[in-house]
């Protein structure tokens, strides 16, 4: 019986030792940056191989792989294409188990390059060596802290895995993910994929319990049937998101010259992907947008959407984006309209999108989502502009910097604060949401009164929402309160907080906890947005604010389509 894919690729993703063939002291060559990348984090022995230099960056260099005294699991090739085949033969002799060939000049260059690539493949298979490439930018494996890149990339561990047929696209997505706060457990720039195919990586990622969502950039496939057979076993277990260019003749020609792959009919790809549950996207940015959606949100039960917006125009744009994607901006039941009539000014939109028409009632903004999400007809919520609500922090700041006893203006006195703190501590230890609610109600009520909000029903509703977030551990109330105390307040020392967050940061953390709590309470997607596409939001906990309603709508429809696929094969569980 043959090895499983996990066993076959174990030496590649979890090598105990690495040789970098072509490592050099010359910083202007790829061998230098590749060697330094491998040294950055990898825990096992790293051997530089160079037949002209005796020592590289303080490491003894070897003229040939066969001269290395210890065993070598993985060889990284950064040498001219013509030299790869004979050195691969040395690797077979040495007993190397896996390789990554960063070197270009193979099938992507034409017939002669293809012959050279076939020879390298023949030699590698003779020795049972599985390899990435050629013509690639390397790979990353968090399980071994191995950065076998041709140049350093910012990357961290996380729930995603990514295989890319294009090195530039792959590097850009990984870097953007790092900037957004999302990590990759594995990333492979597969290049020409002479040996290990894209579907092999997807199969491997599918069996890795650390990987929750799989991404792929595909220009062409060597064996479409094999791809479909392997990937259709993965999609029922976890989402597979694919970016596949080639809809135009110009793109198809560019694909052939870039990776040596045949683009194939886009219509055939679209139908095949849909038949096995692949989620297809249109851009590198959308790869990450949708991946984050799968990680942070439950699957929607259907296509009915509610939209909450602090301004009518953005609500209009979001509604149009949702409708364009096949989502239904659902008509709200009369009972919901009546409930919102009680808390919003008479000028509010009285429909979906829900637009309070300039109302500054922060409390109502945070209780309105619950009124919408509890409605059976609503499957998902998009909350426009939620990412910008930290501006409300200014409303909570003390109007008097010399407030008596060094407490915030919305806390009656230092003694009263201590009483509240004692009651709160006792309630948190009990993990009882009702008791926590009783303890924090005076604080929530005091904060609301600053904004002239005295609707006790709304304050009570917000209190219970905040209490649930505290009970779940999503919200650290002492840290939140500390942001609004004067810097010299003795209460900070009593609370054991040396570096309180800024008010804006505290409100941002508070909003994240509340958004996560909505998802937990109602088991429905809640996608929030900022207002500008040039914003670079970061993943906070399990919450991410998308830069626009259009992006949020695109993510939601992809989640719906995956749910519909699972439903069609009998695997969706409501």
Residues 202-216 pLDDT 10s: 999 999 999 999 999
- Residue 237 and residue 386 share a domain: no
Q: What is the span of the domain harbouring residue 412?
A: 393-507
pLDDT at 407: 52
- Residue 524 and residue 501 share a domain: no
Residue 229 binned pLDDT confidence (cut-offs 50, 70, 90): very high
Between 191 and 415, name the one with better pLDDT.
191
DSSP per position, 144-197: TTEEEESS-------SEEEEES-HHHHHHHHHHHHHHT--EEEEEE-TT-SSS-
- Residue 345 and residue 323 share a domain: yes
End of a domain among 455, 484, 507? Answer: 507
Residue 252 above 80 pLDDT?
no
Residue 427 above 70 pLDDT?
yes
Domain-embedded: residue 121 = yes
DSSP per position, 98-125: EEEE----SGGG-HHHHHHHHHHHHHHH
What mean pLDDT comes out for the span 334-362? Answer: 88
Q: Mapping DSSP to helix (H, G, I), strand (E, B) and coil, where does residue 74 land?
A: strand
Conformational region of residue 184, where left means phi above 0, alpha means psi within -120 to 50, and beta covers everything else:
beta
Residue 387 binned pLDDT confidence (cut-offs 50, 70, 90): low
Nearest alpha carbon to residue 64 among 39, 97, 36, 86: 86
End of a domain among 65, 100, 132? Answer: 132
Rounded CA-CA distance 242/297 in Å is: 19
Rounded CA-CA distance 293/454 in Å is: 36
pLDDT at 393: 54
Residue 304 CA, distance from chain mean position: 25
What does pTM read for this prediction? 0.91
Domain-embedded: residue 173 = yes
Work out the angle between the directed axes of helices 362-373 and 503-522 (0-180°, nearest 10). 20
Residues 22-52 pLDDT 10s: 999 999 999 999 999 999 999 999 999 999 9
Residue with tokens 């994240």: 512
Positive or negative, the CA dihedral 419, 422, 425, 428 is: negative
Domain-embedded: residue 574 = no
Nearest alpha carbon to residue 427 among 467, 475, 479: 467
Element (H, E) at 132: strand 130-132
CATH code of 58's domain: 3.40.50.720
- Residue 412 and residue 382 share a domain: no
Q: Mapping DSSP to helix (H, G, I), strand (E, B) and coil, where does residue 230 land?
A: helix
Domain-embedded: residue 141 = no
Nearest alpha carbon to residue 30 among 104, 98, 91: 104
- Residue 462 and residue 410 share a domain: yes
- Residue 159 and residue 107 share a domain: no
Domain-embedded: residue 423 = yes
Residue 343, CA atoms < 13 Å, CB-side half-sphere? 25
- Residue 172 and residue 36 share a domain: no
Residue 233 binned pLDDT confidence (cut-offs 50, 70, 90): very high
Q: Residues 6 or more apart from 285 whose CB is under 8 A from it? A: 176
- Residue 339 and residue 196 share a domain: no
CATH code of 233's domain: 3.40.50.261
Counting beta carbons within 10 angstroms of the beta carbon of residue 498, is it exposed (0 to 12), middle (13 to 18) or buried (19 or more)?
exposed
Q: Residues 6 or more apart from 176 whose CB is under 8 A from it? A: 284, 285, 288
Domain-embedded: residue 38 = yes
Domain-embedded: residue 221 = yes
Residue 78 binned pLDDT confidence (cut-offs 50, 70, 90): very high
State the chain's maximal CA–CA distance in angstroms.
84
Q: How many domains does the chain have?
A: 4
- Residue 107 and residue 239 share a domain: no
End of a domain among 296, 318, 343? Answer: 296
Domain-embedded: residue 140 = no
Distances (CA, A) of 36 to 52, 170, 360, 414, 473: 18, 20, 54, 56, 41
- Residue 286 and residue 166 share a domain: yes
- Residue 126 and residue 82 share a domain: yes
The whole-chain average pLDDT of the chain stands at 89
Lowest mean pLDDT among 1-10, 147-156, 396-405: 396-405
What mean pLDDT comes out for the span 447-455? Answer: 72
- Residue 113 and residue 167 share a domain: no
């Amino acid at each position: 019986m043959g090895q499983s894919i996990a066993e076959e690729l174990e030496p590649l993703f979890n090598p105990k030792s690495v040789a970098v063939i072509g490592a050099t002291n010359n910083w202007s060559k790829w061998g230098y940056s590749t060697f330094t990348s491998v040294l950055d984090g990898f825990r096992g022995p790293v051997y530089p191989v160079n037949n002209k230099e005796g020592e590289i960056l303080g490491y003894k260099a070897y003229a040939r792989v066969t001269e290395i005294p210890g065993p070598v699991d993985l060889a990284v090739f950064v040498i001219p294409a013509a030299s790869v085949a004979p050195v691969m033969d040395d690797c077979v002799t040495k007993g190397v188990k896996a390789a990554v060939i960063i070197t270009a000049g193979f099938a992507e260059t034409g017939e002669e390059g293809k012959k050279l690539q076939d020879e390298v493949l023949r030699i590698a298979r003779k020795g049972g060596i599985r390899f990435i490439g050629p013509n690639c930018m390397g790979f990353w494996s968090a399980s071994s802290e191995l950065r076998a890149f041709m140049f350093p990339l910012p990357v961290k561990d996380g729930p995603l895995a990514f295989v890319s047929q294009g090195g530039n696209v792959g590097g850009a997505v990984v870097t953007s993910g790092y900037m957004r706060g999302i990590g990759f457990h594995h990333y492979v720039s597969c290049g020409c994929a002479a040996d290990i195919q894209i579907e092999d990586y997807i199969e491997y990622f599918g069996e890795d319990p650390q990987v929750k969502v799989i991404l792929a950039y595909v220009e062409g496939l060597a064996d479409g049937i094999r791809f479909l057979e392997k990937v259709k076993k993965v999609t029922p277990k976890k989402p597979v998101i694919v970016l596949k260019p080639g809809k135009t003749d110009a793109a198809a020609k560019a694909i052939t010259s870039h990776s040596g792959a045949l683009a194939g009919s886009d219509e055939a790809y679209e139908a095949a992907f849909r038949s096995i549950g692949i989620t297809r996207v249109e851009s590198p940015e959308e790869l990450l947008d949708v991946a984050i959606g799968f990680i942070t949100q439950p699957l929607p039960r259907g296509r009915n959407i509610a939209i909450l917006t602090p301004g009518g125009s953005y609500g209009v744009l979001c509604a149009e984006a949702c409708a364009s994607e096949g989502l239904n901006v659902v008509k709200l039941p009369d009972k919901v309209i009546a409930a919102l009539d009680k808390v919003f000014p008479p000028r509010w939109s009285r429909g979906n999108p829900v637009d309070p028409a300039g109302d500054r009632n922060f409390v109502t903004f945070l209780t309105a989502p619950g009124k919408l999400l509890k409605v059976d007809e609503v499957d998902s919520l998009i909350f426009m502009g939620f990412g910008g609500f930290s501006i409300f922090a200014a409303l909570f700041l003390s109007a008097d910097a010399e407030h008596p006893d060094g407490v915030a203006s919305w806390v009656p006195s230092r003694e009263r604060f201590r009483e509240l703190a004692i009651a709160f501590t006792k309630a948190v230890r009990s993990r009882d949401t009702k008791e926590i609610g009783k303890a924090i109600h005076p604080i929530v009520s005091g904060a609301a009164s600053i904004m002239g909000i005295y609707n006790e029903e709304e304050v009570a509703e917000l209190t219970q929402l905040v209490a649930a977030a505290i009970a779940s551990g999503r919200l650290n109330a002492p840290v939140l309160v500390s942001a609004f105390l004067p810097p010299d307040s003795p209460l900070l020392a009593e609370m054991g907080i040396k570096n309180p967050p800024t008010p804006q940061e505290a409100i941002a953390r508070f909003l994240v906890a509340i958004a996560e709590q909505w998802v937990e309470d109602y088991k429905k997607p809640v996608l929030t947005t900022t207002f500008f596409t040039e914003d670079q939001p970061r993943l906070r906990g399990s919450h991410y604010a998308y830069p626009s309603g259009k992006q949020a709508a695109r993510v939601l429809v992809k989640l719906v389509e995956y749910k519909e696929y699972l439903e069609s094969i009998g695997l969706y569980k409501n």
